[in-house]
Amino acid sequence: MLKRDFLKNGLLTMVGALVSPALLASAHEEKLLREARAMPMADGPFSLPALPYAFNALEPHIDAKTMEIHHDAHHKTYVSKLNEAVAGKPEEKLSLAQLLASASKQPDAIRNNAGGHWNHSFFWLLLAPKGGGQPTGALAAAINKDFGSYEKFQEEFTKAATGRFGSGWAWLIHDKQAGKLAITSTPNQDNPLMDLPGIQRGTPLLGLDVWEHAYYLKYQNKRPDYVKAFWNVINWAEVNRRFDEARKG
């Protein structure tokens, strides 16, 4: 019996050594996706927006399976848990923007899930199948003015994204009080619209999700490669539009 158990355990160890971390991660994410799809959306004021393009539309830069799991599992879960967190409370009548603006007064379940819902809804619109290139018009001029050049801006944004310890986001924001653009980063699902200590507040124009679930299936632990790929799918028309609105608002 001992010999048989020894041989069995040894075989399992050998098989485990042959399975790549990427395959193990993929199996875990597939399980997460199945569970999320089977979970009914909690009733409430918030709903999951449709992805504005096909899952494979951003390939080869962001793969279809990552997009599918990111939207259908992770984002769906944030929305469902947010509905659960506000159910029967005064916050149920607040808009998502109001929840973010009062994040310092909210319990973690509302703060984290409201942030996750807003951040992802924003993120999907910043990506485009024929994205990339560079901004134009007033935004291009502001980037040159506030960062010195597009290349300097790109360098600073990349540093914010790769330098964020653990999970979080990198942002390009319009700081209305200062009258200029700024680059910042936030932990977890916090964002620059929240009234939280330590956060540089402003209107988000561009954001990059650097949680591992946003890139691990394709890039594993190589976050810099994912950040580099991001520049090829940015929807600059949407960023330009948001900048024009922020200046007028």
Q: How far is CA 45 from CA 3, 89, 108, 118, 193, in A?
A: 60, 12, 18, 13, 20
Taking the model in full, what pTM does it have? 0.86
Q: Does 244 appear as a known binding residue?
A: no
Q: Does 61 appear as a known binding residue?
A: no
**CA gap 27, 51 in Å, rounded:** 23
Whether the CB-CB separation of 46 and 87 falls below 8 Å is answered with no
Q: Does 225 appear as a known binding residue?
A: no
Tell me the pLDDT of the chain (249 aa) as tens digits.
544 554 445 444 444 444 454 555 567 677 766 766 666 667 899 999 999 999 999 999 999 999 999 999 999 999 999 999 999 999 999 999 999 999 999 999 999 999 999 999 999 999 999 999 999 999 999 999 999 999 999 999 999 999 999 999 999 999 999 999 999 999 999 999 999 999 999 999 999 999 999 999 999 999 999 999 999 999 999 999 999 999 987
Helix (H, G, I), strand (E, B) or coil at 96: helix
Pick the CATH number of 61-248 from 3.40.50.720, 3.40.50.300, 3.55.40.20, 3.30.450.40: 3.55.40.20
Per-domain residue ranges for the chain?
Answer: 61-248
